[in-house]
Homo-oligomer: A and B are copies of this chain.
Amino acid sequence: MIEIKPYSRTVYYYETDRMGIVHHSNYIRWFEEARDDFMRQINVPYSVLEEKGIIIPVLSVSATYRKHLTYEDKFSIQLKCKRFTGIKSYFEYKVFDEDGNLCATGESSHCILNKDLKPFRFKREFPEIYNIFAEAAEEGPRS
Protein backbone atom coordinates (compact mmCIF):
# COMPACT_ATOMS: atom_id res chain seq x y z
CA MET A 1 0.00 0.00 0.00
CA ILE A 2 1.33 3.43 -0.95
CA GLU A 3 2.06 5.74 1.95
CA ILE A 4 0.12 8.94 1.27
CA LYS A 5 1.94 12.10 2.28
CA PRO A 6 -0.15 14.97 3.60
CA TYR A 7 -0.88 17.76 1.14
CA SER A 8 0.29 21.15 2.33
CA ARG A 9 0.57 24.73 1.25
CA THR A 10 0.18 28.29 2.49
CA VAL A 11 -3.10 30.26 2.63
CA TYR A 12 -3.44 32.87 -0.13
CA TYR A 13 -4.59 36.39 0.64
CA TYR A 14 -7.60 36.10 -1.66
CA GLU A 15 -8.81 33.10 0.34
CA THR A 16 -9.56 35.28 3.37
CA ASP A 17 -12.75 37.26 3.88
CA ARG A 18 -13.51 40.36 5.88
CA MET A 19 -13.94 38.32 9.05
CA GLY A 20 -10.13 38.21 8.74
CA ILE A 21 -10.01 34.45 8.26
CA VAL A 22 -10.16 31.90 5.42
CA HIS A 23 -13.64 31.81 3.90
CA HIS A 24 -15.22 28.47 4.76
CA SER A 25 -15.94 27.61 1.11
CA ASN A 26 -12.22 27.39 0.39
CA TYR A 27 -11.83 24.29 2.55
CA ILE A 28 -14.07 22.50 0.04
CA ARG A 29 -11.62 23.57 -2.68
CA TRP A 30 -8.67 22.47 -0.56
CA PHE A 31 -10.23 19.01 -0.20
CA GLU A 32 -10.21 18.85 -4.00
CA GLU A 33 -6.56 19.92 -4.07
CA ALA A 34 -5.76 17.17 -1.55
CA ARG A 35 -7.69 14.62 -3.63
CA ASP A 36 -5.82 15.59 -6.77
CA ASP A 37 -2.53 15.40 -4.91
CA PHE A 38 -3.50 11.94 -3.63
CA MET A 39 -4.24 10.81 -7.19
CA ARG A 40 -0.85 12.08 -8.33
CA GLN A 41 0.78 10.23 -5.44
CA ILE A 42 -0.82 6.93 -6.50
CA ASN A 43 0.25 7.68 -10.08
CA VAL A 44 -3.23 8.15 -11.45
CA PRO A 45 -3.49 11.91 -11.97
CA TYR A 46 -7.07 13.03 -12.51
CA SER A 47 -6.11 14.55 -15.86
CA VAL A 48 -5.07 11.06 -17.02
CA LEU A 49 -8.43 9.67 -15.94
CA GLU A 50 -10.17 12.44 -17.89
CA GLU A 51 -8.17 11.50 -20.97
CA LYS A 52 -9.41 7.92 -20.58
CA GLY A 53 -12.97 9.23 -20.39
CA ILE A 54 -13.37 8.71 -16.65
CA ILE A 55 -14.85 11.49 -14.54
CA ILE A 56 -15.41 11.46 -10.79
CA PRO A 57 -18.02 14.08 -9.91
CA VAL A 58 -18.78 14.98 -6.31
CA LEU A 59 -21.97 13.47 -4.86
CA SER A 60 -21.69 15.08 -1.46
CA VAL A 61 -19.26 17.08 0.59
CA SER A 62 -19.17 18.30 4.17
CA ALA A 63 -16.83 20.25 6.40
CA THR A 64 -16.72 20.96 10.11
CA TYR A 65 -14.67 23.93 11.29
CA ARG A 66 -12.80 23.91 14.59
CA LYS A 67 -10.03 26.49 14.44
CA HIS A 68 -9.68 29.20 11.86
CA LEU A 69 -6.76 29.65 9.51
CA THR A 70 -5.76 32.93 7.95
CA TYR A 71 -3.37 34.51 5.45
CA GLU A 72 0.11 32.99 5.25
CA ASP A 73 -0.78 30.18 7.64
CA LYS A 74 0.69 26.91 6.51
CA PHE A 75 -1.77 24.04 6.58
CA SER A 76 -1.60 20.37 5.75
CA ILE A 77 -4.38 17.97 4.84
CA GLN A 78 -4.41 14.31 5.78
CA LEU A 79 -6.58 12.45 3.31
CA LYS A 80 -7.91 8.94 3.56
CA CYS A 81 -9.71 7.08 0.85
CA LYS A 82 -12.15 5.34 3.15
CA ARG A 83 -13.82 3.17 0.56
CA PHE A 84 -13.69 2.40 -3.14
CA THR A 85 -16.32 0.26 -4.81
CA GLY A 86 -15.58 0.82 -8.48
CA ILE A 87 -18.79 2.82 -8.69
CA LYS A 88 -18.28 5.17 -5.79
CA SER A 89 -15.43 6.44 -3.67
CA TYR A 90 -15.39 8.00 -0.21
CA PHE A 91 -12.79 10.33 1.25
CA GLU A 92 -12.03 11.80 4.64
CA TYR A 93 -9.99 14.93 5.29
CA LYS A 94 -8.26 16.42 8.30
CA VAL A 95 -6.83 19.92 8.05
CA PHE A 96 -4.02 20.79 10.44
CA ASP A 97 -2.17 24.02 11.11
CA GLU A 98 1.62 24.19 11.40
CA ASP A 99 1.50 23.34 15.10
CA GLY A 100 -0.48 20.20 14.46
CA ASN A 101 -3.81 21.58 15.68
CA LEU A 102 -6.83 20.08 13.96
CA CYS A 103 -8.52 23.01 12.18
CA ALA A 104 -11.22 21.25 10.16
CA THR A 105 -12.48 17.86 9.16
CA GLY A 106 -14.43 16.85 6.12
CA GLU A 107 -15.84 14.09 3.99
CA SER A 108 -16.76 13.67 0.36
CA SER A 109 -18.37 10.98 -1.76
CA HIS A 110 -18.03 10.62 -5.51
CA CYS A 111 -19.41 8.55 -8.33
CA ILE A 112 -17.20 7.23 -11.09
CA LEU A 113 -18.66 7.76 -14.54
CA ASN A 114 -17.70 7.46 -18.18
CA LYS A 115 -17.97 10.15 -20.84
CA ASP A 116 -21.72 9.52 -21.18
CA LEU A 117 -22.11 10.21 -17.47
CA LYS A 118 -22.94 6.56 -16.86
CA PRO A 119 -21.42 4.07 -14.41
CA PHE A 120 -19.26 1.50 -16.19
CA ARG A 121 -17.39 -1.72 -15.41
CA PHE A 122 -14.31 -0.09 -13.96
CA LYS A 123 -12.64 -3.35 -12.94
CA ARG A 124 -13.04 -4.90 -16.37
CA GLU A 125 -12.26 -1.85 -18.48
CA PHE A 126 -9.36 -0.41 -16.49
CA PRO A 127 -8.13 -3.24 -14.23
CA GLU A 128 -4.79 -1.58 -13.47
CA ILE A 129 -6.29 1.70 -12.35
CA TYR A 130 -9.02 -0.15 -10.51
CA ASN A 131 -6.43 -2.08 -8.56
CA ILE A 132 -4.45 1.02 -7.67
CA PHE A 133 -7.56 2.64 -6.23
CA ALA A 134 -8.59 -0.57 -4.47
CA GLU A 135 -5.13 -0.79 -2.89
CA ALA A 136 -5.19 2.85 -1.82
CA ALA A 137 -8.60 2.55 -0.17
CA GLU A 138 -9.11 1.34 3.37
CA GLU A 139 -12.17 -0.65 2.36
CA GLY A 140 -13.09 -2.30 -0.89
CA PRO A 141 -16.40 -3.10 -2.51
CA ARG A 142 -17.33 -5.91 -0.18
CA SER A 143 -15.48 -5.34 3.04
Chain A residues with CB under 8 Å of chain B are 9, 12-14, 16-21, 23-26, 28-29, 32-33, 36, 45-47, 50, 55, 57-65, 68, 70-72
Q: How far is the CB of A35 from chain B (nearest CB, A)?
A: 9
Determine if B28 and A18 form an interchain contact, defined as CB atoms under 8 angstroms apart.
no
Q: How far is the CB of A74 from chain B (nearest CB, A)?
A: 11
What DSSP secondary structure best describes chain A's contact surface? mixed
Q: Give CA–CA (A16, B29) in the complex, Å.
A: 13
Residue of A21, A28, A70 most packed against chain B (CB within 10 A): A28
Given the known interface contacts A61-B63, A62-B62, the answer about A14 and B23 at a Cβ–Cβ threshold of 8 Å is yes
A–B complex contacts, Cβ < 8 Å, 21 sampled: A9-B9, A12-B36, A13-B17, A13-B36, A13-B46, A14-B17, A14-B25, A18-B21, A18-B70, A18-B71, A24-B28, A24-B57, A24-B58, A25-B29, A25-B32, A36-B72, A46-B71, A47-B71, A47-B72, A58-B65, A59-B64
Other than the given A14-B17, A16-B17, 8 more pairs (CB < 8 A) read A12-B32, A13-B32, A19-B57, A24-B57, A24-B61, A28-B28, A47-B71, A47-B72
